[in-house]
Structure formats: structure tokens, C-alpha cells
């Protein structure tokens, strides 16, 4: 029941967000046709604007847009790449970004969760210090430093992996690492903190007093609760990763959707921007809902009313 | 006269305490400060940060002084000006140019240290902006409660679901457009360059206050139920006074901890924007734009490693120190929350 209500609440939220994006891009100075070949005659510009209905009042444009989106699932034509619709561009780029995003997510989880777990259970030992140092280091090195460094060593100096492009599984390794390392640091820190907090709980003492083996206590009882902060972080994290990364996609020349988040804004490609905002918001809201569902499954004490 | 051993409120240590006597009681802040000083990585980080700031301030002064110190010093000062072009392009680090030179033959050490001014300033001022908005927003929402609270927090939720990069670009370009019109109206368009920095401050602060608002609201929700707030209200204090005198000061511990973690996040975001070419404009530099310049020059034939290694290294060291400092403060004040 609670989740049904949440699911229904998504609709007005998305409406507000799309309206906000729609108004924001029109408030920003500059129009989509400013960078046309100059001198564009005023007639041409007027024609273009009329063709894309940009001469109408904003509320009318928004209603027209909403009509297309809700009735036909149509994000409209791109104002920059005239021969493509926004749906085309998303359909081409999103699968690539999603693939890379899932790989990076798996990588970040695969590194972050074990590092966080072991640093917590070996608190104060050298494993803790080196693992924690690794985690902080990762969240301090931006992707545009890691990316070129990885390329410099693995691709140029040792010639082990391809420099860029998106063709074979080998091409995916460097971008996955460059994208995932930062988040592995974040996850490791969350996991460590969750584990340390859980280990102070009374039910852990009880479990130990019952004579359970240390492994059973840690893995069966503590881990399940300690992973909750990571789970709630993975909602926004996945929304970010699945919609691509500008930096990684431009460094490795990957034909994903991430570059459009910046470029469409620079080109004032209004329909593209609103389409991307709606896409991102939908993903984020749905993933957060999934996270809350996962909470109920992992922690029986959580009840929603 | 009360026996200090029996008086738990006594703060003055007894002159001859027996080993069994309880330690002198300390205020929570004093105890936190003690814990902080025992945290070696946090203290070390504080020193590293102080050194970086000192170096960044001292370097331009040093260059200025060197120009008066005989012909040799003047030549050094000349060659080390951050905007001084020369024919020594892409020199690796040497005795003359400690960090090497860039594509225009400019001294990289100077550029990194001048760029540090921008990066640090953006981090501090941006965090300040996010602090003011976030604390006010969260405190008002939490204290008002009810419908005001839910409307204000829904607004935060909505901003959360906008991709922040789009929000920042809209904000910066809009402000810039407004200011450009305004400046040409009053007839001094030359101010535009430095105004760009101002927009960076505002834009970065404006996307970073959301988490702060949530944290402060949570704190205020629990604080406003406390007896001392009740007492103050019973004495006739208005909401503004209660917020300013009683509630906001009590959220300070959490806020300080969170702000130390916001500064590195904003520095990182600024370097990202400058990397995209949306941040500071050349010839001005920040760590991000320097790294971007270095990445542009990378090709399979020649690796100019120093162009990325030095600005990137200093950026990473500063961020590391800030993070360790934030962690240390959090442990010392025992603040729980999002990291």
C-alpha cells in the first residue's frame, strides 16, 4: 500500500521536475540557433522558431511537449542535431552508458564492500590503515586525473590495453576502472562505518554470547545490517552511473549519453535537456523506491505505514 | 568548602590528586579537542593544510621581493611570473623551473600556486555560501514544521533529482547574462572577468547546500523538543531569537564537521567545471584547468607527465588533508551522519 502510494506520487514529482527544467532552460540566456552559420537572416531564424514552436508562449510549449511525451512517449526533435529526435539519441547512447555504468557499479561494489568490511573487522591493524587510506585516496582523485593516468600507464607505456573507443571487452576495462574507483572509495567508507556501528549493537554481543563462531556473527548477523548505508547510497549512485559520465566518455571516446548532459546545455538544445532531466529524474526516483523496498527485505525492523 | 573530589562540577584540578581521584571534568568541547589532538592523521593534515595555505600566500610575495633583490632575483622573478610566456616550452622539471613549463613556456610552479588561490578560495567561499543557505533553510523548515516544513523539504527533494551539472550551467550562464546587461548599462564591461569567479562561488554553493539543509533540519527537529527551548519560549522569546540563540548554536558541531567535508567536494566540483572549460577563464588558472591543459597535451609520442602530476598531486594532497581533517573532527565530536 505504502509503495503503491509512492509509485503514484512519482507522477506529480516528474511533472514538477519537467516543468522546472522546461522553464530553467528558457530563462537561461541564448537560444538554440545562436551558433548557426552567421549571418543567419532574421527570416530564417523566425522560420526555425516557428517550425519548432519556439515563438509560442512558454506554457503553450510546455503543454505541447507534455502532450507528445505522455501520449506518444515522444521527447521531441533535437534542436541541435536536426535529423535526430531526442528519442533516437537516447536510444543510441543510453545502452552504451548503461553497460559501462553497470560494469563500473559492479567494480565499485566488488572493491568497495570487501575493503570496507575488512577494514572494519581488522580495526586498528595495518589492514585497516592501508584499506582506509586507499578509500580516502580514491575519493580524492578526480576521474579526469585517474583516466589519463590509467591511459598513460596501461595503454601508452605498457601497451596492455586499448587507449580509447568502445569495441571489445578489452576496451571496457580502463573506463570501468576510471569510473568505478572513485565510487569504490565512497562505498568502502560507508561499509566500514556501517560495520563499525553494527558491531556495537547488543544483538551482536548476544550472538557472541550464544557461542556462535566469529564468522557467523560477522557475516550472518552484522553484515546484513551493516550493508544498509551502502544500499541506500546505491540508488543515487546507480542513477548517476547509468546516465553516463561526461569525463570518462570524453576521455575514452565512448559514444554514450553522458556527454550530452553537458553539450546539450552548452548548445541550448532545449528539448534534449528536458528529455535528459526527465530521464535522470525517473531513474533516480524509481531506484530510490527500489532501495526502500530492499530495506524492508534486509532489515525486518523497518516498517512503512 | 566543598571537597573537589566529591564535586562533579569542579573544573579546577586539585593540587595533589591521589591516583584514585576522578579526572577533572572537562566541557564536551575540551574533551573533543583532546580526542582530536590524539588523532595523528588529523593533526598532520591540519599542518599540511596550513603549509599549503602559507605557501600559496607567500609565493606571490616572495616573487615580488625577489624582483628587488639584485639582477639575479629580478630575472628569477621575471621568469616565474605565472603569465610570462617564453620559448622554453614543455621543459621537464629543472633547477630553473622546478615543476617544468607548459605549452606556452610558462613556469608551472607559479601557475600551480596561483591556481591554488582560486581553487582554495572557491572551496572556502562556496562552502560558506552552502553553509548559509543550508543552515537557514534547514533550521527554518525544521523549526516551523508542518506544512512549511514539507513544502521546503519537497523543494529540496526536487532539486536533488535535477542533474546538478545542468543546474550549475543554467545558474552560471543566467547570472552572467544578467550581469553583462547590467555592466554594459552602467558602462564598465571590464569587470566581467572577475565576476565569473563570483558566479562560480554562487553556483557551486547553490548546488551544495541540499545535504546541509537535510542534516540541519534533522538536528533542529530533535532540538526544538528539548526543555531549554521550551523554557526560552516560556520566557517569551520569539522564533527568530530561539533559532539564533539556542538552536543554531547547538547544531554547530555537526555543521562544522560537514563543512570540512563540503570544502573538498566543492574544490573537486570546481576543478571538474574548469576541466570542462566552464570554470575560470584563461589566462587565469585553477587546479582543474591546469589538469585539463595537461590532459590536452597528452599523446602517445610524448608524455608530459609533469603537466598532470604537479597540479593533480597538489589537488589530491589538499583534498586528502581536508578529508582526514573532517574525519578527525567527526570522530572527536562523535557526529553520526552521512559521510
Q: Which three cell numbers stand for residue B142?
A: 525544521
Of B170, B177, B268, the CB nearest to A142: B268
| pLDDT tens-digit map of A151-198 | 877 777 777 777 777 777 777 788 888 889 989 988 998 888 888 888
Q: Tell me: pLDDT of A42 over 80.
A: no
Express each pLDDT in B274-293 by its tens digit.
887 777 777 778 888 888 88
The answer for residues whose C-beta is within 8 angstroms of residue B104's C-beta and 6 or more apart is B85, B86, B89
The pLDDT of residue B324 is above 50: yes
Is B103 within 8 Å of B89 (Cβ atoms)? Answer: yes
Confidence band of A305 (pLDDT split at 50, 70, 90):
low
Secondary structure tally for chain B: helices H, strands E: 12, 0
d(CA A190, CA A183): 11
- C-alpha B102/C-alpha B85 separation (Å) is 9
Q: B-chain residues within 8 Å CB-CB of A119?
A: none
- Angstrom distance (rounded) from CA B264 to CA B316: 10
Binary contact (A145, B268; C-beta < 8 A) = no
C-alpha closest to that of B84 among B67, B65, B71: B67
Q: Hey, which residues 182-241 in chain A have their CB within 8 Å of chain B?
A: 189-190, 193, 197
Distance CA A140, CA A129 (A): 16
Minimum CA–CA partner of B171 in chain A: A28
Give the least confident one: A191-205, A266-280, B43-57, B67-81: B67-81
Cell of A274: 528536458
User: Which residues of chain B does A193 touch, with a Cβ-Cβ cutoff of 8 Å?
Assistant: 339
Instruction: Compute the distance between CA of residue B217 and CA of residue B137 in angstroms, rounded to an integer.
Output: 8
Phi, psi angle pair for B110, to nearest 5°: -65, -40
**Confidence band (pLDDT; 50, 70, 90) for A115?**
very high
More confident position, A219 or B100? A219
Note whether A272 contacts B: Cβ–Cβ < 8 A: no
Q: By C-alpha distance, which of A36, A103, A26, A78 is closest to A260?
A: A78
What's residue B79's pLDDT?
Answer: 67
The answer to whether the CB atoms of B158 and A273 lie below 8 A apart is no
Distance CA B72, CA A183 (A): 49
In order of A44, B31, B131, B207, the CA distances from B156 in angstroms are 41, 35, 15, 10
Q: Are B283 and B106 in contact (CB under 8 A)?
A: no
pLDDT-derived band at A94 (thresholds 50, 70, 90) equals: confident
**Residue A111: band (very low, low, confident or very high) from pLDDT cuts 50, 70, 90:** very high
Q: Which three cell numbers stand for residue A110?
A: 566488488
pLDDT of residue B336: 53
Residue with cell 587565469: B284
Q: Distance (Å, rounded) from C-alpha A89 to C-alpha A264?
A: 11
Measure the CA–CA gap between A261 and A243, rounded to whole angstroms: 9
- pLDDT of B11 > 50? The answer is no
pLDDT number for residue A31? 67
Test B275 with A190 for CB contact under 8 angstroms: no
Q: What is the pLDDT of residue B12?
A: 47
- Chain B residues within 8 A of A139 when measuring between CB atoms: 319, 323
Q: What is the pLDDT of residue B97?
A: 67
Global ipTM: 0.79
Q: Which residue has the cell 580502463?
A: A174
Contacts of B17 (CB under 8 A, 6+ apart): B5
The pLDDT, as a whole number, for residue B4 is 43
All three cell numbers of A150, joined, read: 590509467
Report the DSSP beta bridge partners of residue A77.
A85
pLDDT of residue B65: 79
Residues 57 through 116 of chain A touching chain B, CB cutoff 8 Å: none
> Could you tell me what percentage of chain A is helix, strand and coil, using 3-state DSSP and rounding each to the nearest 5?
75, 0, 25
pLDDT band at B300 (very low <50, low <70, confident <90, very high): low
- pLDDT of residue B20 exceeding 70, the answer is no
* Residue B46: Cβ within 10 Å count: 19
Q: Do B162 and A277 touch (CB under 8 A)?
A: yes
What is the pLDDT, as a whole number, of residue B193? 61
The answer to whether residues B326 and B46 touch, using CB atoms and an 8 Å cutoff, is no
Q: Which residue of B has its CA nearest to A250?
A: B276
Among residues B321, B339, B335, B338, which one has the least CA distance to residue B42? B321
Q: What whole-number distance in Å separates Cα of residue A128 and Cα of residue B311?
A: 29
CB contact under 8 A, B158 and A20: yes
Mutation to test the A interface, candidates B153, B166, B183, most A Cβ within 10 Å = B166
C-alpha span between B157 and A14 (Å, rounded): 11
Contact B276 A163 (CB under 8 A): no
In this complex, how many residue pairs, one in chain A and one in chain B, have their CB atoms less than 8 Å apart?
113
Contact A136 B320 (CB under 8 A): yes
Residues 6+ apart with CB under 8 A from B280: B118, B196, B197, B200, B274, B286, B289
From residue B9, how far is each of A101, B6, B87, B227 by CA, in Å? 58, 9, 71, 21
Residues of B with CB under 8 A from a CB of A: 157-158, 160-163, 165-167, 169-170, 173-174, 176-177, 264, 268, 271-272, 275-276, 288, 291-292, 294-295, 298, 300, 303, 305, 308, 312, 315-316, 319-320, 323-324, 327, 336, 339
Q: B290 contacts in A (CB within 8 Å)?
A: none
Amino acid at each position: 500500500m505504502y509503495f503503491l502510494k509512492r509509485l503514484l506520487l512519482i507522477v506529480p514529482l516528474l511533472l514538477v521536475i519537467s516543468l522546472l527544467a522546461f522553464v530553467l532552460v528558457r530563462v537561461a540566456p541564448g537560444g538554440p540557433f545562436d551558433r548557426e552559420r552567421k549571418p543567419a537572416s532574421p527570416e530564417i531564424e523566425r522560420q526555425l522558431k516557428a517550425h519548432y514552436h519556439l515563438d509560442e508562449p512558454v506554457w503553450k510549449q510546455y503543454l505541447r511537449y507534455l502532450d507528445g511525451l505522455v501520449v506518444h512517449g515522444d521527447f521531441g526533435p533535437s534542436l541541435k542535431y536536426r535529423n535526430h529526435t531526442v528519442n533516437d539519441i537516447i536510444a543510441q547512447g543510453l545502452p552504451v552508458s548503461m553497460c559501462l555504468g553497470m560494469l563500473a557499479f559492479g567494480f565499485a561494489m566488488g572493491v568497495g564492500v570487501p575493503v570496507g568490511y575488512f577494514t572494519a573487522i581488522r580495526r586498528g591493524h595495518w589492514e585497516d590503515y592501508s584499506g582506509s587510506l586507499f578509500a580516502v585516496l580514491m575519493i580524492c582523485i578526480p576521474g579526469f586525473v585517474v583516466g589519463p593516468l590509467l591511459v598513460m600507464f596501461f595503454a601508452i607505456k605498457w601497451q596492455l590495453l586499448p587507449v580509447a573507443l568502445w569495441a571489445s571487452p578489452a576496451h571496457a576495462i580502463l573506463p570501468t576502472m576510471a569510473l568505478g574507483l572513485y565510487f569504490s572509495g565512497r562505498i568502502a567508507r560507508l561499509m566500514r562505518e556501517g560495520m563499525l556501528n553494527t558491531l556495537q549493537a547488543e544483538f551482536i554481543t548476544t550472538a557472541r554470547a550464544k557461542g556462535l563462531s566469529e564468522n557467523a556473527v560477522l557475516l550472518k548477523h552484522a553484515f546484513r545490517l551493516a550493508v544498509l548505508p551502502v544500499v541506500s547510497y546505491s540508488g543515487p549512485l546507480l542513477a548517476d552511473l547509468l546516465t553516463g559520465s561526461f569525463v570518462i566518455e570524453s576521455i575514452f571516446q565512448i559514444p554514450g549519453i553522458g556527454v550530452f548532459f553537458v553539450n546539450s546545455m552548452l548548445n541550448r538544445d532545449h528539448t534534449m535537456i528536458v528529455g535528459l532531466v526527465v530521464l535522470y529524474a525517473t531513474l533516480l526516483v524509481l531506484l530510490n523506491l527500489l532501495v526502500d523496498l530492499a530495506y524492508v527485505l534486509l532489515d525486518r525492523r523497518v516498517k512503512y505505514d | 568548602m566543598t571537597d573537589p573530589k566529591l564535586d562533579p562540577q569542579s573544573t579546577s584540578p586539585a593540587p595533589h590528586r591521589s591516583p584514585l581521584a576522578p579526572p577533572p571534568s572537562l566541557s564536551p568541547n575540551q574533551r573533543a579537542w583532546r580526542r582530536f589532538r590524539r588523532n595523528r592523521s588529523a593533526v598532520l593534515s591540519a599542518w599540511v593544510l596550513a603549509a599549503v595555505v602559507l605557501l600559496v600566500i607567500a609565493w606571490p610575495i616572495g616573487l615580488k621581493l625577489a624582483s628587488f633583490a639584485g639582477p639575479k632575483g629580478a630575472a628569477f622573478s621575471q621568469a616565474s611570473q605565472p603569465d610570462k610566456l617564453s620559448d622554453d616550452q614543455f621543459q621537464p622539471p629543472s633547477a630553473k623551473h622546478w615543476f617544468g613549463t607548459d605549452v606556452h613556456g610558462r613556469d608551472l610552479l607559479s601557475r600551480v600556486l596561483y591556481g591554488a588561490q582560486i581553487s582554495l578560495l572557491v572551496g572556502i567561499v562556496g562552502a560558506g555560501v552552502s553553509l548559509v543557505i543550508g543552515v537557514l533553510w534547514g533550521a527554518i523548515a525544521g523549526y516551523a514544521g508542518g506544512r512549511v516544513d514539507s513544502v521546503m523539504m519537497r523543494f529540496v527533494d526536487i532539486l536533488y533529482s535535477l542533474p546538478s551539472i545542468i543546474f550549475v550551467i543554467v545558474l552560471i550562464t543566467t547570472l552572467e547574462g544578467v550581469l553583462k546587461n547590467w555592466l554594459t548599462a552602467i558602462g564598465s564591461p571590464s569587470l566581467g572577468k572577475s565576476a565569473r569567479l563570483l558566479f562560480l562561488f554562487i553556483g557551486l554553493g547553490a548546488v551544495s547546500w541540499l545535504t546541509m539543509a537535510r542534516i540541519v533540519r534533522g538536528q533542529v527537529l530533535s532540538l526544538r523538543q528539548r526543555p531549554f527551548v521550551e523554557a526560552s519560549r516560556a520566557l517569551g522569546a520569539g522564533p527568530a531569537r530561539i533559532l539564533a540563540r539556542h538552536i543554531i548554536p547547538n547544531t554547530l558541531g555537526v555543521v562544522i564537521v560537514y563543512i570540512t567535508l563540503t570544502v573538498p567536494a566543492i574544490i573537486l566540483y570546481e576543478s571538474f567545471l574548469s576541466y570542462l572549460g566552464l570554470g575560470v577563464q584563461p589566462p587565469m588558472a585553477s587546479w582543474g584547468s591546469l589538469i585539463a591543459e595537461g590532459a590536452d597535451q597528452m599523446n602517445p609520442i610524448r608524455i608530459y607527465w609533469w603537466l598532470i602530476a604537479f597540479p593533480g598531486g597538489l589537488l589530491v594532497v589538499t583534498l586528502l588533508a581536508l578529508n582526514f581533517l573532517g574525519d578527525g573532527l567527526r570522530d572527536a565530536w562523535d557526529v553520526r551522519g552521512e559521510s
